[in-house]
């Protein structure tokens, strides 16, 4: 088990473009170890997804997935555990959906972001199998957020309204004062 330090916004590595993994290296011991470290780091931080640049490795690798968590009570079945290597997103002609997003690299904060509701996602998994799938809803939002990290983009670059961004405890307090429940955060 190797929990790695998660880089925070301001670290220039989070702003770089990551390199593709040559297909012949997908099953190498180096990539296997990277994936294990990413899962360990994501689970220790209770995240729903993590991209390799967030632990300072500039390769196009993403892990997603979590089991039921108190942080996400509405996601009763969690999100399937998956490894995405060299993912490519094609935007389908779909309406946008808005979600409050958080990020392990922007700790204790959230912001409201609008993204495509439906995407086509192509990627290799850790067994070197190629996938080509249509993904919708909350999962599509999580995949778009994680894949953005591979191009040095953070959700704060995509805020729909800069006033809908802030520290979780402040936003929670404001919601409660307004008689609202704090939202589910992607």
Q: Which is nearer to Zn ion, 26 or 101 (CB)?
A: 101
Distance CA 142, CA 30 (A): 25
Contact mark string toward Zn ion, 26..45, x via CB under 5 A: --------------------
Nearest CA to 150 out of 38, 36, 14, 39 is that of 14
Least separation in angstroms between residue 89's CB and Zn ion is 15
Q: Which is nearer to Zn ion, 4 or 25 (CB)?
A: 4
Least separation in angstroms between residue 177's CB and Zn ion is 28
Rounded to the nearest 5°, which phi and psi values hold at 117?
Answer: -75, -30
Nearest CA to 135 out of 83, 92, 98 is that of 92
Residues 162-181 that bind Zn ion (CB under 5 A): none
Return the beta strands (E) in 59-163 as ranges: 61-66, 79-91, 96-103, 106-116, 118-124, 130-136
Nearest CA to 121 out of 160, 92, 101 is that of 92
Q: Which is nearer to Zn ion, 103 or 135 (CB)?
A: 103
In the bound state, the residue with its beta carbon closest to Zn ion is: 103
Q: Which residues are catalytic?
A: 146
Residues 63-122 that bind Zn ion (CB under 5 A): 103
Least separation in angstroms between residue 138's CB and Zn ion is 15
Which token pair is 105? Answer: 């690299």
Least separation in angstroms between residue 36's CB and Zn ion is 20
Exposure pattern of 81-119 as b/e (b: 16+ CB <10 Å)?
ebbbbbbebeeeeeeebebbbbbbbbeebbbbbebbbeb
Rounded to the nearest 5°, which phi and psi values hold at 53?
Answer: -60, -20
Q: Which is nearer to Zn ion, 81 or 176 (CB)?
A: 81
Number of residues interacting with Zn ion: please give it, by CB under 5 A.
1
Residues that bind Zn ion (CB under 5 A): 103
């Amino acid at each position: 088990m190797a929990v790695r330090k998660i880089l925070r916004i301001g670290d220039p590595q989070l702003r770089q473009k990551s390199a593709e993994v040559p297909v012949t290296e997908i099953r190498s011991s180096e990539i296997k170890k990277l994936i294990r470290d990413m899962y360990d780091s994501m689970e220790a931080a209770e995240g729903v997804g993590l991209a390799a640049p967030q632990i300072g490795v500039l390769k196009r690798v993403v892990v997603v997935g979590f089991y039921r968590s108190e942080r996400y009570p509405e996601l009763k079945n969690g999100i399937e555990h998956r490894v995405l290597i060299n993912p490519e997103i094609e935007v389908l002609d779909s309406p946008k959906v808005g979600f409050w997003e958080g990020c392990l690299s922007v700790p204790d904060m959230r912001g409201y972001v609008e993204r495509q509701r439906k995407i086509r996602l192509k990627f290799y998994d850790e067994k070197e199998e190629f996938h080509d799938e249509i993904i919708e809803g909350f999962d599509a939002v999580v995949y778009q957020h994680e894949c953005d990290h591979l191009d040095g983009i953070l959700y704060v670059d995509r805020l729909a309204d800069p006033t809908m961004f802030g520290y979780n405890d402040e936003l929670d307090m404001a919601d409660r004062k307004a008689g609202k429940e704090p939202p589910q955060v992607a």
